Structure 1
């Protein structure tokens, strides 16, 4: 971890259980100021629970932590005044217009001249011409943009985004991330949970949670390297019929279709190459050494982790 003065979030040994099941298990992590920090993991990995503890909406069972230099167990109200929190579900008023929602948020936060602040947000986020449209009638992408506008209206020091692009089309996701990077360039710190690998690759650093435990963290390159996976691409006529056969071979940990090819990964480079040698020798199949991807690392780490809701 970096020095505490450089971190907007720093937690040590944070744990939380519900109904006897540990949802967050001794989590330690830090988020550097002015960075976009990606939070990855399968459903049930503890991402949302962690985000809620960070802003004082949930009290941890054990562990310590600070958010914006404030104690997460004692200073929840003060933290929330300085944080923009965008939940998975659209949480603004469906029967109010875009402008009415933004003016309402401005008043809730006690901002001067709510009408002016709403107008500034509308212009900044490209919502001009839609300000009289009811929020409930917006598409997923426009709802997302409105929610982001509401989160950033009070000029927070930190954004907590909980799977903000779920169900949004690729164009809207790309536009959303362009805005997030523009905000980060202005000094805003961001912690964002996501399932999308292309979004994770847009983050400065990522942390991967699997069933409550932090498995790995760092840059995307760090995380891929930590998986230790070697990769090959296999292509040829009807190559997908070989997937089940390849999965049973020694040294092969993952096999995934990629277009007209198979992406094959394993930890032991020599054993992997040995298992693929008979296929490489065939005239109808092409085997080419490649590089493991973040998705490879994600799937491997998930498969290697124990489900904390598995009673077996």
Structure 2
């Protein structure tokens, strides 16, 4: 579906990614782990087309492939209602199923500025899902959700995977989230992304 080959990226003279190879196919779920600042978000933005690599190539199996990122930040108009915020990006028929699955219909008339962090995160997640991505990258995207809402969200992702072969990349620091999604785990270190079962990368002399 999407493949990164020999990707290099640096900022301010600091090498973030170096000769990195990575690929993900339809219906796959990957979990990326790594220390803060190791390049997880940078790689996500490259795959989504929001950044360009210094060198290397990113290819998609279909030019119309839609790659979206759901982040921890809340990008909502505070003076508009939840319904109005959702309508800004998609028709009601596209977002209403996710509102029901995530159980927050009672919030539709409330102003977004009056919501809790967890409620705002639910709205942002439903809005992103309504855009019907082929690959959704979740960058610390459920950090404010309680256990019940996380469970509902996991079920929503599983349904999308089963019915539409949507692929997901999960970026987080919580092992239980990855386990719930039955994901393949990857670790970003030394400017490279490795399957987590490779404890010591091949180019690591130790």
Q: 1:118: how far off? A: 4.1
What is the rounded CA distance, in whole Å, between the counterparts of 1:19 and 1:134 in structure 2?
40
Q: Which one of the candidate residues 32, 37, 59 is aligned to 1:44?
A: 37
Query: Structure 2, unaligned stretches of length 5 or more?
Result: none
Counterpart in the other structure of 2:56: 63
Q: How do residues 1-312 of structure 1 correspond to structure 2 at under 5 angstroms?
A: 8-70=1-63, 82-106=66-90, 114-186=91-163, 187-201=165-179, 202-214=181-193, 216-217=194-195, 223-224=196-197, 226-227=198-199
- The secondary structure found in structure 1 opposite 2:9 is strand
Query: Structure 1, unaligned stretches of length 5 or more?
Result: 1-7, 71-77, 107-113, 218-222, 229-300, 306-312
Misfit runs of 4+, over 6 Å: none
What is the rounded CA distance, in whole Å, between the counterparts of 1:191 and 1:68 in structure 2?
17
TM-score after normalising by structure 1: 0.58
CA RMSD of aligned residues (A): 2.4
What is the rounded CA distance, in whole Å, between the counterparts of 2:174 and 2:94 in structure 1?
32
- The secondary structure found in structure 2 opposite 1:192 is strand
What is the rounded CA distance, in whole Å, between the counterparts of 1:99 and 1:178 in structure 2?
23
Q: Is the 8 A contact 2:138 2:171 kept in 1?
A: yes
- The 1:122–1:205 alpha-carbon spacing in structure 2 relative to 1, beyond 3 Å, is same
What is the rounded CA distance, in whole Å, between the counterparts of 2:178 and 2:127 in structure 1?
24
Q: Is the 8 A contact 1:39 1:206 kept in 2?
A: yes
Q: 1:44: how far off? A: 0.7
